[in-house]
Amino acid sequence: MGRGAVGPPSRYSRRVVANVDRLRQAKGLTVGELLSRAGMTKSYYQSRAGFSLPYNTNDIEALAAALGVSPEEVANPESAPRIEMRVPASPLAERVRRLVDSQAVSESDLMDHLDEVDPAAAESARALLAAVTNTVVLDEEVLRLITQWADVPTEYLTDYTDDAVTDRTEAELELRDAMREAGASSIQFRALGEMSPDALRAIARSLRSRPPAT
């Protein structure tokens, strides 16, 4: 049986790519030096670092040898002091802005909140929103702090390829918008329980179809 399309990079794949970056920098190597030691071409490496294709086990072994570490250290980003992920900048920044809109605040309000909690996280978030590159490396803690602030599942940012989480969260955000437009002063999403995304959207449509309050 043939293998299907690779699809979007998983959370683990993004962590491994970021882990390679972290280990390379810790060893004081340039990308060119790493590729020379690992016997990889620039185009081959970029297709993996840019998420067009995943690293295979031979790649992990070659990178580990080039970095002077074990394959397990390359393939196990959970062992890093902090968990970093290389992520596509544009779609993730779009989600962060969607969360800002859902709170009816500005990006600066989010940055002020992050500055109070962790100034390094705020700088990382600013870099994401201002990114002009295709991908960026982020500490996963930044994404957790943003989703905590917005009262949505952490996976909406950390595991954005999960269609079920995306659909559920965006339905909740749609309902949040509709409730605000209807004049609701407080929204407790966790009280909605296990209502389906379709049910949440139906409630949002119902709220928006009501005549404005007089």
Give 201-213 pLDDT, tens digit per residue: 888 888 778 766 5
Percent of the chain with pLDDT strictly greater than 90: 31
Dist. CA 146–CA 114, nearest whole Å: 8
Dist. CA 170–CA 172, nearest whole Å: 5
Percent of the chain with pLDDT strictly greater than 70: 86
pTM for this one?
0.61
85: β partners = 138
Q: Band of the pLDDT at 42, cuts 50, 70, 90? A: confident
Dist. CA 96–CA 85, nearest whole Å: 16
